[in-house]
Amino acid sequence: MSDINKVVLAYSGGLDTSVIVRWLQDSYNCEVVTFTADIGQGEEVEPARAKAQALGVKEIYIDDLREEFVRDFVFPMFRANTVYEGEYLLGTSIARPLIAKRLIEIANETGADTISHGATGKGNDQVRFELGAYALKPGIKVIAPWREWHLNSRESLMAYCEQHSIPVDFSTSKKKSPYSMDANLLHISYEGGILEDPWAEAEEDMWRWSVSPEAAPDQATYIELDYERGDIVAIDGQPMSPATVLEYLNKVGGANGIGRDDLVENRYVGMKSRGCYETPGGTIMLKAHRAIESLTLDREVAHLKDELMPRYAKIIYNGYWWSPERQMLQTAIDQSQACVNGRVRLKLYKGNVIVVGRQSDDSLFDEGIATFENDAGAYDQADAEGFIKLNALRMRIAANKGRKLL
């Protein structure tokens, strides 16, 4: 007799998770609750309801989480200018703690004792889902079918559907793309297929959200972003919600060939993985945020943020969003944003995001001091001599003691 009574499954309505529903019912003789999240993946999520009902599921959750995703996860991450291994803007990573959170909330609402997901045993997502779940509900049980079953190919999954009369539209269930893809409001990722050869160039027709830089318009697009406490609140003077901001930037960025990336990353489980990513809105946000910070942040605060950022990025990538160390860093990051207010003007042109202007009532830029013209005594250049000598003192002492460099 299984000690599993009710399972909340992260359910997309696709082949894999449809098989998982029946497999859980048969393997654990348990009730299954499905949860489908709309985080801006660009596909209709409501059909998942009918598919789940056809599988005998009685409790079905379909939630629009787009605003929460951007407001409470994407924006806080971008306040830190977060980039993993110098390139990756963490589009997949940042969605997983929200899904884990909602899985646990639904488990609490429905009295479920277990959660389940469709992440494989090779990837990072299994770690992210489960670390989040355990942090939020330590006694929760987790079932990861890909670590248990022997259905290790698409053909075996299709055969399982036929054997168990799972209602899958076999005429349309063949993959439309040879790639494994994940999408949300921040990005779309591509793995597998020819991308498993790091030398092979991605095919042009793979990309979904952006035109190639070569095909982008010959006329530049100018936009202005308004910031309050480090977050974008308006574009071209038009107030927008967090999700609307990112939707707009994805559209205008993609139209100008912005946001494509091809990289080999180090997964937390130990292997290297080659993936391609489209993050047009995020690419614009990163450039613009650094621009407004350059005007408003104290030098040492800015430098400290840059030193902390790789650690913060690694925490998110590895699945520790709900950890005390991430919360501690977030508190410091958010405090640093109190004066990150103002406007940034950008030129978008053939894959490039070019900062052409920035202004803020909280600016620390003092033209009277920085000017190359007459500063009317605002800065005494003679002070620089003592400053330089004092900073060279330790090196002068070492050289006088015979510690020659040449």
Q: What is the 8-class DSSP label of residue 118?
A: -
Q: Would you say 16 is a known binding-site residue?
A: yes
Q: Which residue in 16, 72, 113, 334 is the catalytic one?
A: 16
Q: Would you say 294 is a known binding-site residue?
A: no
Decide: 87 and 263 in contact? Cβ < 8 Å.
Answer: yes
The residues pairing with 61 across neighbouring beta strands, listed in sequence order, are 35
Q: Would you say 125 is a known binding-site residue?
A: yes
Q: Which residue in 180, 294, 323, 363 is the catalytic one?
A: 180
Q: Would you say 180 is a known binding-site residue?
A: yes
Q: What is the 8-class DSSP label of residue 70?
A: I
Q: Would you say 281 is a known binding-site residue?
A: no
Q: Would you say 103 is a known binding-site residue?
A: no
Q: Would you say 363 is a known binding-site residue?
A: no
With a CB cutoff of 8 Å and minimum separation 6, the contacts of 124 are 92, 93, 267, 268, 269, 317, 318, 319
CB count, 10 Å around CB of 269?
13
Q: Would you say 182 is a known binding-site residue?
A: no
| Distance (Å) of CA 208 to CA 29, 182, 263, 291, 346 | 41, 12, 17, 28, 24
Q: Would you say 42 is a known binding-site residue?
A: no
What does DSSP say about strands 188-191 and 272-278: parallel, antiparallel, or unpaired? antiparallel
Q: Would you say 66 is a known binding-site residue?
A: no
Query: Which residue reads 């998770």 in tokens?
Result: 17
Q: How many residues does the chain have?
A: 406
**Starting from the edge strand earliest in sequence, which strands make up the sheet with 352-359, in order?**
238-239, 231-235, 221-228, 342-349, 352-359
Question: How far is it, in rounded angstroms, from Cα 72 to Cα 297?
Answer: 23
Q: Would you say 177 is a known binding-site residue?
A: no
Q: Which residue in 22, 79, 125, 260 is the catalytic one?
A: 125
Q: Residue 84 corresponds to which tokens in the numbers above?
A: 């993993």
Question: How far is it, in rounded angstroms, from Cα 17 to Cα 27?
Answer: 15
Q: Let me know if 16 is a catalytic residue.
A: yes
Q: Would you say 132 is a known binding-site residue?
A: no
Q: What is the DSSP string of 192-244?
A: SGGGGSTTSPPPGGG-SS---GGGS-SS-EEEEEEEETTEEEEETTEE--HHH
Q: Which residue in 79, 96, 274, 343 is the catalytic one?
A: 96
With a CB cutoff of 8 Å and minimum separation 6, the contacts of 100 are 128, 129, 130, 131, 132, 133, 136, 322
Q: Would you say 342 is a known binding-site residue?
A: no
Q: Would you say 37 is a known binding-site residue?
A: yes
Q: Would you say 334 is a known binding-site residue?
A: no
Q: Would you say 61 is a known binding-site residue?
A: no
CB count, 10 Å around CB of 298?
11
Q: Let me know if 125 is a catalytic residue.
A: yes
Q: Would you say 383 is a known binding-site residue?
A: no
Annotate 124-146 with b (16+ C-beta within 10 A) or e (fewer): bbbbbbbbbbebbbeebbbbbbb
Decide: 38 and 21 in contact? Cβ < 8 Å.
Answer: no
Residue numbers belonging to the annotated binding site:
10-18, 37, 88, 93, 118, 120, 124-125, 128, 180, 189, 265, 277
Annotated binding site for ATP: 10-18, 37, 118
Hey, which residues are catalytic here?
Answer: 16, 96, 125, 180
Which residues are annotated as part of the binding site for L-aspartate? 120, 124-125
The annotated binding site for L-citrulline is made up of: 88, 93, 124, 128, 180, 189, 265, 277
